[in-house]
Structure 1
Amino acid sequence: MLKCRLIGWVVLTLVISAEAQNTEQIPKNMPEHNGQFSAWTLYNPDNPVPLLAGSRYIPQLNYAISLNKNNKIDFEVSANIFGNIGYRSIDSISTHGGIRTYRAWGRYSSKQLEVRIGLQKINFGSATMLRPLRWFDQVDPRDPLLLTNGVWGVLGRYYFLNNTNIWLWCLYSNHSVKGIEFLTTKKGYPEFGGRVQYPVSSGEAGLSFHHRMADSRNLNNTIPEYDVIPENRIGLDARWDKVIGVWIEGVWVNKGENLGKYSNREIFTAGTDYTFGIGSGLSIIAEHMVIANDEKAFSFRDATNFSALTLSYPIGMFDKLTFITYFDWHNKSAYRFVNWQKEFNKTSLYIMGYWNPIDSMLPVTSSEENILGGAGIQLLFAFNH
């Protein structure tokens, strides 16, 4: 029962039909093809498989139809084609690969309205490294390509003339854990929510809401098991840019069943950024996050603190050096990551090193496997066409 997709297609069809009736001629554009090829190798003696290598190709096809001067429909389809190989010894080599849909959506857009349906990326918020509003994506700030899986659903956005905008979404068939979630979504139930983003003095603020039905039966009796758990999230964020940039971001997640200390979750982040006039310009981003799991909301009896710092410095016209560090105050552990990036016309080369705890507790990990656990070095090449 694809409620969200059917609703989205109906809305999209009605809007397009209405616009087409007022259009004498519909010019068509040729499909555009582009893509990104990347290859990487990693050495980490602390990893069970110390030598890893892989490649990925994301071909993308775009097609647009102009209805009139300010209205159009367009489509995007892309795939994630990947293959990895791991080397432990001459008689222990593992391989893994596959093809997955990366993006597949259709969109109607006008001067102030956008309606998009399909497999898409949805993200918002003010924070950059420690993000309470990382609800629907898995972007890891340490990944130079910023790859993330999409979600299936319908997203509508309306932009007012004073820069206020309203988001409405309905998601369906996204059963895997995504973003800040630790419980899967119950199959057969749609998710829905919305966001209002509006200008404030020297910045902007946003209020977000999301509702879904969660399933706690996948945690092996670590918390009470329910097959249907109503879950509501409320998020608030704001950013101001004057001499320095300052932002706050907070989320309250409430479960409709008694899950003990996991009945409520509160996540708050405060951050700032500034570029110093040193050489080519030294950019600094600093954030601090508090995460609490409580039986009673906002009691903060089980709180964990994380701090993050990013230093970025351009070297010449084509090179940039970036250092990212996280600190887990509860476990007294530091995560360190450095990246030398060299840009060419269509290609990029990244030389990365890291020194982290074996078991990551960071709320930013995006990959299913913790390849950044321990100490290691990684080389990454990317080509865009």
Structure 2
Amino acid sequence: MNRIYKAVCLFLACVVSLYAEAGFRSEVVGMGSLWKQQDNLEANGGILWIPELQFSWPARVNMDFFLSSRFSGTWDSYDKHQSDGDIYRTWLRVAGNTWDIRAGLQKITFGPARLFRPLMWFDELNPADLLGLTNGVWGLRGRYFFPANTNVWGWVLYGNSDLKGQEWYPTKDETVEYGGRIQFPVTPGEWGFSLHSRIPDASPDYVPAVFDSTNQFINDNSREWRVGFDGYWDIVTGVWFESVITHSPVNPAIPWVYSNVIGIDYTLPLGYGLHVLGEYGFNHTFNEEFNVILSTNMWGMMLDYPLSFFSSLSAMGVWIPDEDLASGVISWQYTSGNFTYYVQFLQTFTQNNNVSVPGLNIPYDTQIKGMLSWTISK
């Protein structure tokens, strides 16, 4: 299936290049890090190249074709080397004045939360990631925009058998996922309602065997359903929430999960403006009788301060009291022409060495990371 996708993308790129306006962007990133995990001191380095090619046809109905690849190579202090290359994005978009349809490998993201994100259904955006990279999903997504700023989304996904977003179990191979979303204004902000359905992979490779009264393994291709609500208001401060209810047939002992986050942000009039953001989130897992099986509380804060027009300093802290886990990140960024320099320090404090921050992927104790990004566009 991947060979077919790549062949189709290459053919489309060759055809449209003859008739469309073209744009090119390339980003090369060099990186290195030094970290201490328990008593081990390790170092690694790597290089990442992301070329992007885009074609557009300005007309009554606009068309855009986008193709981006990702090539990487890494090494570490144990003399382990790894290289990889794949398609990062490839999609064809057709758009009118009030609608657009996009098909291919694309990023689908929504919701106002920044740290814990219950609506992180199709991406793995990490607030500690200096580049903001995430895998995409294969599918068809359409949107329609009404005059009163209400918009409706719909999507159909296929061929996404790897874990994505907040999933605990991967999607069953060769099955269809579908869903939709509506966003509508509510003075002085907006609300959203989202729905998604898929068939989780309940094979013994991912899920412990579940037997019925005749000791037969249960795998009935039942669908998982997710319902999400979110809202954002800009009053004196920005205030938002995300709330998701999930019912999954994979594990009968914990079929229900309720995730919620509330957040607030404000820019203090200090110097160039200190932006402060805070979020509180929790996850509750229920059985069919709606008895709570497991609860997790999460607290987080982000600070952003522009040092000048070209540089900025940011910090982020996360505390999960139920896991005795706290994690902090401090980042500095400076842009000069086509070059961007990053320096980041990360520290994790925990009594459980097997625990990492959910959604943030910070499994180490102490790390210092340096990055240099070079971007050219035509």
The equivalent residue for 1:63 is 55
Separation in 1 of the partners of 2:210 and 2:33?
A: 37
Check 1:231–1:383 CA distance in 2 against 1; reply closer, same or farther (3 A cut). same
Q: 1:200 aligns with which of 186, 194, 216?
A: 186
- Stretches of structure 2 that go unaligned for 5 or more consecutive residues are 6-17, 212-216
Kept in 1, the 8 Å contact 2:202–2:250? The answer is no
- 1:137 and 2:123 are equivalent in the alignment: yes
Check 1:220–1:248 CA distance in 2 against 1; reply closer, same or farther (3 A cut). closer
- Stretches of structure 1 that go unaligned for 5 or more consecutive residues are 6-26
Q: 1:272 aligns with which of 257, 264, 270?
A: 264
Equivalent position amino acid for 2:170 in 1? T
Separation in 2 of the partners of 1:359 and 1:382?
A: 32
- 1:101 and 2:87 are equivalent in the alignment: yes
Kindly state the Cα deviation for residue 259 of structure 1 after the two structures are TM-superposed. 2.1
The equivalent residue for 1:36 is 27
Please list the CA deviations of residues 8-29 of structure 1 after superposition, one character each: whole Å capped at 9, or x if unmatched. Answer: xxxxxxxxxxxxxxxxxxx954
Separation in 2 of the partners of 1:344 and 1:258?
A: 52
* Pairing of 1:282-321 with structure 2 (within 5 A): 282-296=274-288, 299-321=291-313
- 1:359 and 2:363 are equivalent in the alignment: no
Kindly state the Cα deviation for residue 220 of structure 1 after the two structures are TM-superposed. 5.7
Separation in 1 of the partners of 2:261 and 2:135?
A: 24
Percent same amino acid among aligned pairs?
Answer: 30
Please list the CA deviations of residues 232-262 of structure 1 after superposition, one character each: whole Å capped at 9, or x if unmatched. Answer: 000000000021000010000102355202x
Describe the SS at the equivalent of 1:184: coil
Separation in 2 of the partners of 1:257 and 1:42?
A: 39
Q: 1:82 aligns with which of 72, 83, 108?
A: 72
- 1:190 and 2:185 are equivalent in the alignment: no
Please list the CA deviations of residues 335-375 of structure 1 after superposition, one character each: whole Å capped at 9, or x if unmatched. Answer: 01100111222221111001114434322135xxx5x5110
Equivalent position amino acid for 2:71 in 1? I
Aligned length, in residue pairs: 351
Describe the SS at the equivalent of 2:80: strand
Describe the SS at the equivalent of 1:232: strand
Question: Once superposed, what is the RMSD of the aligned Cα atoms?
Answer: 2.1
TM-score by length of 2: 0.88
Separation in 1 of the partners of 2:146 and 2:120?
A: 25
TM-score by length of 1: 0.86
Kindly state the Cα deviation for residue 221 of structure 1 after the two structures are TM-superposed. 2.3
Q: 2:208 aligns with which of 214, 217, 221?
A: 221
Describe the SS at the equivalent of 2:90: strand
Check 1:277–1:298 CA distance in 2 against 1; reply closer, same or farther (3 A cut). farther
Separation in 2 of the partners of 1:264 and 1:140?
A: 25
Separation in 2 of the partners of 1:61 and 1:297?
A: 53
Describe the SS at the equivalent of 1:330: helix
Check 1:57–1:49 CA distance in 2 against 1; reply closer, same or farther (3 A cut). farther
Kindly state the Cα deviation for residue 223 of structure 1 after the two structures are TM-superposed. 7.2
Equivalent position amino acid for 2:248 in 1? K
Describe the SS at the equivalent of 1:73: strand
- 1:380 and 2:375 are equivalent in the alignment: no
The equivalent residue for 2:141 is 155
Further displaced range: 291-300 or 249-258? 291-300
